[in-house]
Structure 1
Amino acid sequence: MRRVLVVDDDQDMRDLIGLMLRRAGYTTVAVESPFLALDVATTEAFDVAVLDWSMPGMNGGELCTRMRESPDIPDTPIMILTAHADQETRDRAFASGADRFMTKPFTLAELSGAVAALIGSRT
């Protein structure tokens, strides 16, 4: 079963994303902190990482950059999932190394389709 790392400081959003992805057939590990995400991502393998943009201490772009720079994390596809729909945030997300950018709100079909496409792009 494919594994997805979900990083969002909002408990309700972590629960919603995790539920949606589990319904689509994925195994999820959800964490509330970008710092915890770095620890988890260096000790466990994931097929995709879904990162929120706005988090305390480190935003999703900074986390994405750190994941891309880490020799301990393989070339995991990364999607930024955020309420920020502006072009500047989108540009910053891709500049940080994100493979995909999706805005909230989203549907189960959109989320599971994006995750499936990211997994398919690496196989």
Structure 2
Amino acid sequence: MRITHPRPQLGRQRDLGLEFRDGVAIVEALHPERELALRLHGYTIEADPEVAEPFQAAVGEPIIDLTKLTREQLRDLLPDNVEAPAKTTHAELVDLVVALRAEPTPGGVDNGDGAATTTEG
């Protein structure tokens, strides 16, 4: 993945745990929450066209494109306490799965408020 800094500088700069050279950082993978944080802070992220499927190096599991799953597969991702009537649309099921609370990245600490703090060095 190619990440472009919103305020690029010549040379090296380190920001949000990434090292940028001339305003660009190249990484093999990003955790979805880190990717979201970068996008929210104005970073531009471009997928590597040579990589067939993105992979979460930190988690060790492939990133799942929820829009490509069937309704049955989406229902399997929902916990028992989430109600989804039989007439729930595919888009509504995707929204229900997206709204589920994410587990902290391995090595992270759950803050108890829906957020997690990573302990990266």
| TM-score > 0.5 by shorter chain | no
Band of TM-score, shorter chain: under 0.3
TM-score, normalised to structure 1, is 0.23
TM-score, normalised to structure 2, is 0.24
Structure number with greater CO (CA < 8 Å, separation at least 6) is 1
Q: Which has the larger radius of gyration?
A: 2
| Structure with the bigger percentage of helix | 1
